[in-house]
Amino acid sequence: MPDILTLPRPSAPSISANGERYAITAENLNVYYGAFQAVRDINLKIERQKITALIGPSGCGKSTVLRSFNRMNDLIPVARTEGRVMFHGKNIYDADVDPVEVRRRVGMVFQKPNPFPKSIYENVAWGARINGYRGDLDALVEQSLRQAALWDEVKDKLHQSGYSLSGGQQQRLCIARAIAVQPEIILMDEPASALDPIATLRIEELMRELRKEYTIIVVTHNMQQAARVSDYTAFFTVDEHRTGYLAEYGPTTELFTNPRQKITEDYITGRFG
Amino acid sequence: MRDRVSQVPGYPDEKQFQGFIRRRRRRGAMWRTLFLIATSVGIVVLSALLLNILDDSFGYVAVKNEIEPAALLATYAPKRLPMERGGADYQILRELSRDVQVQILRDHLSQGLIRRLESEQPLDQRSQEELGDLIIERVVEPHFLASWSLFDSVFHRARIKAEVAEMDGASLRFYSWLNPKFVVSPQSSHPEFAGIRTAILGSLWVVAITILFSLPVGVAAAIYLEEYGQKGRLNDLIETNINNLAGVPSIIYGLLGLAIFVRALQPLTGGSLFGIGDATTNNGRTIISAGLTLGLLILPIIIINAREAIRAVPQGIRQASYGLGATRWQTVWHHVLPNAMPGILTGSILAISRAFGETAPLVVIGASAFIIRDPDGPFSKFTTMTIQIYQWTARPQAEFRHLAAAGIIVLLALLLGLNATAIWLRNRYQRSY
Amino acid sequence: MQSDLSQPIQAMNVPVAQHQEVIDLRRRRRAGESLIHGFLFLSGVLSVFTTVGIVLVLLSQALAFFRRPEVSLFDFLTKTTWQPAIGEFGIFPLVNATLLTSFIAVIVALPLGLMIAIYLSEYASAPARRIIKPVLEMLAGVPTVVYGFFALTFVTAILRALLGSDRVEIFNVGSAGLVIGILILPLVASMSEDALHAVPGALREAAFGLGATRLETTLRIVLPAALSGISAAFIVAISRAVGETMIVAIAAGAGPRNFKSWADAVTGFKFLNPFTAAETMTGHMVRISGGDLSYDSIDYDSIFAIGLTLFVMTLALNIASRWAVRRFREEY
Ligand SMILES: Nc1ncnc2c1ncn2[C@@H]1O[C@H](COP(=O)(O)OP(=O)(O)OP(=O)(O)O)[C@@H](O)[C@H]1O
Ligand SMILES: [Mg+2]
């Protein structure tokens, strides 16, 4: 499989203060569920402070790859990971790495909104608290909710249950919750798939806003969404064993206007998947 | 830009966070160990429960015979005299020819006893086996002078041997309190011969009545609540009421049974209305009273389980049936019940094993302390396995404790069988709608 | 049933109806259906009659008890001696023993059971849970008389060996209480595990995703979410402990632990001593009714008065349990 990432790219890379260009990279990543290989040989370098979309047909392993970026796959007893995921120059799958450390820095927003059965305030404050936050909690909660574009809607009912909100609001609450821990990277697994078009639009706006501070990796089934919000797009598909692999990766505009691979073109034009 | 978290005001910096997370990890590991220990303690304690029963079911006994089998053989069948002494002696007595066996009995038993035995069944019409047992019971007359648990028998053998050597005329035997004779013998005040047969039959009779009463009524109630009753006050009342009943202590049901079935309905449950029974059973403390009491006791459990099974039958099946012009009862009888049956049976079996295990309400309504005759109908006096175990446990002598342990094994085996049946049923008929 | 079904078949032999012929669509009386409906209805309300029966029987006999000249409700509630032979009927010794055994049981079973549940639901591997869970459920079905045997022949022996047979009597409240704890342990563990297991995995994922450890996820997210079910499990277990009969009848003692006065009861916390014998409400009822009880004796009436007390206590616990389920229910 050719390393498409080594190809020259048009856009100027944003290089961070200490010279690191990538927020997180997967190297020869293979994930198995028991004997079944879900994805193989994934090489993926995620640019800092950009939005990277993972697209592909159902079952091609998008969620699997996404979850391997913060070791959420550890929670599935049968799951096994090979290869490396480099984060700050360290392989997060090394034996001495604590997944709890990783997840604090690589937050996650799930497909279905899953607020805790606690108040809105507690939902946001909880993660900060367990991570030893000593500052002004009220301020942090407010700031996170503002960043998640939810503050105005909930500021008068912070102590009501998180479940008193609408689906879209719940999802923004989950984003606020993730932000409150101040991660570097936010993983989002189809964050808008359970929402109506208006709520989806708000989440997309929010993502673009968040890009200024965070690196975002988002799984989506919605081609327009990927085209609208993401800077880079990774297209996954499956081989004859139903094992997923990375078929093409590049700047979103390029991938959508001028796909290198036939299969990518088929997929984005809707002839496949 | 090395690490965001350390930059954010309020969060601990990288170094602090290292220590912080170590503390959290340590606390996690500590609690994890605690949870594991709790689970292990639970497992150990519950294994102790079972091991304790096994421990009391087997072990050494010190036996003293009134007449040694060897002595009998020496007189009556010198050729059969065994080379070495031991448990085989008893078996040889059962294998002697019937003439010799009858001779032994006539020589050793009183005239009166012989007459009584003859009137039950003439001696020379009895089998070798029976005659042998009679000889052992009446002539050899073994007594247990002492008994030991399995643990002691294995680990303190020398001490036991020394103790038995002190006892006059006693010999040491390894004895299984749980044995075929234990299961088929009736109750006896001699632990050497006591068995659990009457109690097993009693339990079966009582639970048969329980099933006959509570299964149809319970399922009918469940059908009413699920298929007929309109959602409303009455249904809510019945539902709350059933949940409350399921939480009433079993002994309260005993009081109910005592006041209603035993006392108020005495002519009915005592059988005098039907001209059955005698003075000892006309008091209403009979199998039918016990069965009905337990029936009321498990009724809530049956209803709750049956409702769940009925509710699991998909609505589409009912609609299809009504769509074909079936009446409500036809729908229930032809579609709902057959589909719900495995679930209903599974739940009912569990309720029935509860009935087998109940003791307290039966004591309250007046189980008989001591019955030798097999129960012969719903109007007999009753005892059950649990009552028997309770009475043996309450006796101070160690021998009865061993009998209780053996009885418990029989009871648990029965319950295990019922449970296994329930699980099998559940797996066998698991439906995928 | 057969007759019902044969009806339409007969109808088919009749010549096909003419168009003009009027079809009768009016509601028909189906005798069989009504009969069945009646039977089903009676079965449904039988449970209500059972409750009414229990309440009436307990109330009427208890009333008969309190009508007796030697008994007064005031003494029943305030006296510290239960000695029918000399006409002393203070319920306190019996209630005290019931509460003491239940308390010991609860102290043992609730924490231990909850920890087992947490271990099974949040830590144990799937195969381990698949094995342990049904075993727990089966143990919850072991008859209580078996636990009584265990209390008397094993736990008492151990207690006496550990603490000295001069301190621990052969019949004692402690070993009965401990074994009631063991009896309700599978119940607590199994019901709590159900409640924990029912908490959606999404909540756990969310917590882990924020960098929580397993312990933090368990104690601060899963446990509060399962509180409703766990509290119900606890109350059901307490109710079982209060109503438990055979263990105390076998192992706790064959006579009430009476006190000369309230002062006597509290000096040196005598009423709390777990190492001496005492008879609980249920134990007393079993012992008294074990003999041939004559219907117009005061003993006969007294067990109904005790039964009423017990019924009220467990009913209150039942109602509390339903309240707790509602109170602590969290939607997710
Ligand atoms: N917990 C699991 N156990 C076993 N197999 C799994 C598990 N999770 C996912 N798989 C398998 O791994 C493959 C990839 O799954 P994954 O959820 O990553 O796909 P996906 O691309 O996210 O699909 P979708 O778009 O439908 O969400 C699928 O074949 C799936 O069946
Ligand atoms: Mg997915």
| Residues A140-153: tens digit of each pLDDT | 999 999 988 899 99
**What pTM value is reported for the model?**
0.84
Cβ distance A16 to B25 less than 8 Å, yes or no, reads: no
CA dist C115 to A217, B27, B138, B352, C213, Å? 38, 15, 57, 31, 17
Ranges A152-156, B79-83, B419-423: which has the least confidence: B79-83
Taking the C-alpha atoms of residue B281 and residue A81, their distance in angstroms, rounded to an integer, is 75
Residue A229 pLDDT more than 80? Answer: yes
> Using 50, 70 and 90 to split pLDDT, how confident is the model at A8?
very low
Taking the C-alpha atoms of residue B63 and residue B146, their distance in angstroms, rounded to an integer, is 8
**Cβ–Cβ < 8 Å for A123, A173:** yes
Residue C242 pLDDT more than 90? Answer: yes
ipTM rounded to 2 decimals: 0.87
Mutation pick from A98, A100, A119 vs chain C, by most beta carbons of C within 10 Å, is A100
Nearest residue of A to residue C214, measured between CA atoms: A100
Amino acid identity of residue B377, one-letter, is: G
> Does A178 contact ligand 1 (Cβ within 6 A)?
no
- Please give, one letter per residue, the 3-state secondary structure of chain B: CCCHHHHCCCCCCHHHHHHHHHHHHHHHHHHHHHHHHHHHHHHHHHHHHHHHHHHHHEEEEEEEECCCHHHHHHHHCHHHCCCCCCCHHHHHHHHCCHHHHHHHHHHHCCHHHHHHHHHHCCHHHCCHHHHHHHHHHHHHCEEEEEECCHHHHHHCHHHHHHHHHHCCCEEEEEEECCCHHHHHCCCCCCCCCCCCHHHHHHHHHHHHHHHHHHHHHHHHHHHHHHHHCCCCHHHHHHHHHHHHHHCCCHHHHHHHHHHHHHHHCHHHHCCHHHCCCCCCCCCCCEHHHHHHHHHHHHHHHHHHHHHHHHHCCCHHHHHHHHHCCCCHHHHHHHHHHHHHHHHHHHHHHHHHHHHHHCCHHHHHHCCCCCCCCCCCCCCCECCCHHHHHHHHHHCCCHHHHHHHHHHHHHHHHHHHHHHHHHHHHHHHCCCCC
The residue behind tokens 């559940």 is B426
What integer is the mean pLDDT of B377-391? 90
Give me the percent of chain B exceeding a pLDDT of 90.
33
Ranges A245-254, C261-270, C303-312: which has the least confidence: C261-270
Ranges A5-19, B113-127, B226-240, B255-269: which has the least confidence: A5-19
Residue B342 pLDDT more than 70? Answer: yes
Instruction: Report pLDDT for B274.
Output: 75
Instruction: Report pLDDT for B398.
Output: 87
What integer is the mean pLDDT of B237-245? 88
**Total Cβ atoms within 10 A of residue A55:** 28
> Using 50, 70 and 90 to split pLDDT, how confident is the model at A4?
very low
> Does A33 contact ligand 1 (Cβ within 6 A)?
yes
What integer is the mean pLDDT of C251-263? 88
> Using 50, 70 and 90 to split pLDDT, how confident is the model at A14?
very low
Q: What are phi and psi of B94, to 5 degrees?
A: -80, -15
What is the interface size between B and C, counted as CB pairs within 8 Å?
A: 250
Q: Running DSSP on this structure, what letter comes out for residue A157?
A: -
Instruction: Report pLDDT for C12.
Output: 46
Ligand 1 pocket, mutate which of A39, A42, A54, A64 (most atoms under 8 A from CB): A64
pLDDT tens per residue across span B62-72: 888 888 877 78
Nearest residue of C to residue A118, measured between CA atoms: C330
What integer is the mean pLDDT of B278-298? 85
Within 13 Å and on the Cβ side, how many CA atoms surround B257?
30
Close Cβ partners of A45 (under 8 Å, ≥ 6 residues apart): A5, A22, A25, A26
Residue C5 pLDDT more than 80? Answer: no
Q: Which helix (H) or strand (E) holds A37?
A: strand A36-47
Mutation pick from C42, C116, C149, C280 vs chain B, by most beta carbons of B within 10 Å, is C149
Amino acid identity of residue C264, one-letter, is: D
Mutation pick from C50, C110, C131 vs chain B, by most beta carbons of B within 10 Å, is C50
pLDDT tens per residue across span B102-121: 888 888 888 888 888 888 88
Residue A12 pLDDT more than 50? Answer: no
Taking the C-alpha atoms of residue C220 and residue C217, their distance in angstroms, rounded to an integer, is 6
Q: Which of C41, C115, C304 sits opposite B224 (nearest CB)?
A: C41
Amino acid identity of residue B427, one-letter, is: N
The residue behind tokens 């102590």 is A159
Taking the C-alpha atoms of residue A252 and residue A54, their distance in angstroms, rounded to an integer, is 11
For residue A115, which of A170, A153, A158, A187 has the smallest C-alpha distance?
A170
Ligand 1 pocket, mutate which of A63, A75, A219, A225 (most atoms under 8 A from CB): A63
Residue C3 pLDDT more than 50? Answer: no
Taking the C-alpha atoms of residue C83 and residue C64, their distance in angstroms, rounded to an integer, is 18
Ranges A129-133, B246-250, C147-151, C302-306: which has the least confidence: A129-133
Close Cβ partners of B410 (under 8 Å, ≥ 6 residues apart): B178, B182, B183, B196, B200, B385
Ranges A243-247, B158-162, C238-242: which has the least confidence: B158-162
Instruction: Report pLDDT for A15.
Output: 42
What integer is the mean pLDDT of C65-73? 88
Residue A247 pLDDT more than 70? Answer: yes
> Measured in angstroms, how far is the CA atom of residue A219 from the centroid of ligand 2?
7
3 state SS of A105: helix
Cβ distance A114 to C200 less than 8 Å, yes or no, reads: yes
Residue A19 pLDDT more than 80? Answer: no
Taking the C-alpha atoms of residue B213 and residue B287, their distance in angstroms, rounded to an integer, is 13
Q: What are phi and psi of A36, to 5 degrees?
A: -85, 125
**Cβ–Cβ < 8 Å for B382, B374:** no
Taking the C-alpha atoms of residue C117 and residue C194, their distance in angstroms, rounded to an integer, is 8
Residue C28 pLDDT more than 80? Answer: no
> Using 50, 70 and 90 to split pLDDT, how confident is the model at A134?
confident
Residue A102 pLDDT more than 90? Answer: no
Atom of ligand 1 nearest to the CA of A219: 22
Within 13 Å and on the Cβ side, how many CA atoms surround A250?
19
Q: Which of A101, A110, A127 sits opposite C202 (nearest CB)?
A: A110
For residue B371, which of B379, B383, B380 has the smallest C-alpha distance?
B383
Residue C118 distance to chain A (closest CA, Å): 16
Residue C55 pLDDT more than 60? Answer: yes
Give me the percent of chain C exceeding a pLDDT of 90.
55
pLDDT tens per residue across span C82-128: 988 888 899 999 999 999 999 999 999 999 999 999 999 999 988 88
Mean model confidence pLDDT for chain C = 87
Mutation pick from C2, C145, C242 vs chain B, by most beta carbons of B within 10 Å, is C145
Tokens representing C265?
């009861």
What integer is the mean pLDDT of B329-334? 86
Nearest residue of B to residue A104, measured between CA atoms: B5
> Does A60 contact ligand 1 (Cβ within 6 A)?
yes
- For B273-281, which contacts have Cβ atoms below 8 Å and span 24 or more sequence positions? B274/B379, B276/B377, B276/B379, B277/B379, B277/B380, B280/B381, B281/B379, B281/B380, B281/B381
Tokens representing B44?
């150990």
Tokens representing B294?
């337990």
Using the Cα atoms of residue A199, residue A63, residue C120 and residue C126 in order, give the sign of their dihedral: positive
Note whether A82 contacts C: Cβ–Cβ < 8 A.
Answer: no
> Measured in angstroms, how far is the CA atom of residue A209 from the centroid of ligand 1?
30
For residue C330, which of C199, C192, C189 has the smallest C-alpha distance?
C199
DSSP bridge partners of C45: none
**What number of H helices and E strands is found in chain C?**
16, 2
3 state SS of A126: helix
Cβ distance B251 to C286 less than 8 Å, yes or no, reads: yes
Taking the C-alpha atoms of residue C52 and residue B238, their distance in angstroms, rounded to an integer, is 12
Please give the torsion angle defined by the CA atoms of residues B306, B307, B313 and B316, in that order, rounded to the nearest 10 degrees.
150
What integer is the mean pLDDT of B287-295? 94
> Using 50, 70 and 90 to split pLDDT, how confident is the model at B133?
confident
Nearest CA to ligand 1 atom 16: A61
> Using 50, 70 and 90 to split pLDDT, how confident is the model at C22?
low
Q: Output b/e per residue, C233-261; b: 16+ Cβ within 10 A.
A: bbbbbbbbbbbbbbbbbbbbbeebbbbee
Within 13 Å and on the Cβ side, how many CA atoms surround C265?
19
Instruction: Report pLDDT for B431.
Output: 56
pLDDT tens per residue across span B170-220: 788 888 899 888 998 888 888 888 889 999 999 999 999 999 999 999 999
Map out the domains of chain A with their CATH numbers. Answer: 14-115+185-268 (3.40.50.300)
Q: Which of A20, A101, A133 sits opposite B10 (nearest CB)?
A: A133
**Cβ–Cβ < 8 Å for B33, A158:** no
Q: Running DSSP on this structure, what letter comes out for residue C272?
A: G
Report whether CATH 2.60.40.180 matches the domain C68-328: no
Nearest CA to ligand 1 atom 14: A61
Close Cβ partners of B167 (under 8 Å, ≥ 6 residues apart): B62, B64, B145, B146
Tokens representing C238?
């307490």
Give me the percent of chain C exceeding a pLDDT of 70.
90
Using the Cα atoms of residue B56, residue B61, residue B66 and residue B68 in order, give the sign of their dihedral: positive
Q: Using a CB-CB distance cutoff of 8 angstroms, which residues of chain C are in contact with residue A164?
A: none
**Highest mean pLDDT range out of A15-19, A88-92, B13-17, B269-273?**
A88-92
Q: Running DSSP on this structure, what letter comes out for residue C270?
A: G
pLDDT tens per residue across span A165-181: 998 899 999 999 999 98
Residue C331 distance to chain A (closest CA, Å): 6
Taking the C-alpha atoms of residue B386 and residue B368, their distance in angstroms, rounded to an integer, is 12
Residue C198 pLDDT more than 70? Answer: yes
> Measured in angstroms, how far is the CA atom of residue A153 from the centroid of ligand 1?
35
> Measured in angstroms, how far is the CA atom of residue A173 from the centroid of ligand 1?
26
The ligand with the least distance to the CA atom of A188 is 2
Please give the torsion angle defined by the CA atoms of residues A8, A14, A15 and A21, in that order, rounded to the nearest 10 degrees.
-60
- Residue scoring higher pLDDT (A121 or B78): A121
Taking the C-alpha atoms of residue C157 and residue C43, their distance in angstroms, rounded to an integer, is 48
Residue C201 distance to chain A (closest CA, Å): 10
Taking the C-alpha atoms of residue B282 and residue B269, their distance in angstroms, rounded to an integer, is 8
Nearest CA to ligand 1 atom 25: A58
Contact partners for chain B, using 3 or more CB pairs closer than 8 A, are: A, C
The residue behind tokens 């689906």 is A167
Instruction: Report pLDDT for B125.
Output: 82
